[in-house]
């Protein structure tokens, strides 16, 4: 179908170019009209061009409609397949949920129930170890986050009386 569609499109383009050539160039028109024996009357030449144009237009419309119909049919078939696959997936999910629901242990108050042997509860997670955090967390990522007992070695500690500043 695609080859037929392309062939008709090419024929229409060639016809359009030839028709423009005949309309715009009187010498080409007279030469072609003389070759086909249509040189007696110019209206006969244009009448033949018109008939060829109508036939090409009808063929192009038929091919385009046929192609469009085939594409729509193909799309509806693919949509049907998609819906069928969705239905299968939904059915499988519902079966899986039903199996999981049946495998859960039953809990009742006041009576002793025994869990299903196929169901095993996961072990309780171990408590996380406590992480050492400094007294004053620092927001600057370029600074090291060390405890206060370990001051920087290149900054000498301040003298005890350095906190007293003169008042101005």
Helix H, strand E, coil C: the string for 39-82 is CCCHHHHHHHHHHHHHHHHHHHHHHHHHHHHHHHHHHHHHHHHH
* Helical residues (DSSP H) of 104-145, grouped into ranges: none
| pLDDT for the residue 21 | 86
| pLDDT for the residue 33 | 78
| pLDDT for the residue 87 | 95
Burial 93-111 (b: 16+ CB within 10 A, else e): eeeeeeeeeeeeeeeeeee
* Helical residues (DSSP H) of the chain, grouped into ranges: 2-24, 26-35, 42-103
Residues of the chain where predicted confidence (pLDDT) is lower than 50: none
pLDDT in tens, 141-160: 565 555 555 555 666 666 66
- Do 38 and 104 meet the contact criterion of CB atoms below 8 Å apart? no
pTM for the model stands at 0.46
């Amino acid at each position: 179908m695609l080859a037929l569609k392309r062939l008709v499109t090419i024929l229409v383009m060639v016809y359009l170019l030839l028709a423009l050539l005949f309309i715009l160039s009187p010498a080409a028109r007279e030469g072609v009209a003389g070759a086909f024996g249509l040189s007696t009357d110019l209206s006969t030449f244009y009448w033949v061009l018109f008939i060829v144009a109508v036939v090409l237009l009808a063929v192009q419309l038929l091919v385009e409609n046929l192609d469009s119909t085939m594409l729509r049919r193909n799309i509806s078939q693919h949509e049907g397949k998609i819906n069928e696959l969705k239905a299968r997936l939904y059915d499988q999910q519902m079966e899986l949920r039903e199996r999981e629901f049946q495998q859960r242990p039953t809990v009742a108050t006041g009576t002793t129930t025994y869990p299903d042997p196929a169901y095993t509860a996961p072990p309780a997670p171990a408590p996380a170890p406590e992480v050492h955090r400094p007294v004053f967390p620092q927001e600057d990522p370029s600074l090291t986050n060390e405890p206060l007992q370990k001051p920087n070695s290149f900054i000498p500690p301040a003298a005890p009386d350095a906190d007293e500043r003169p008042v101005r």
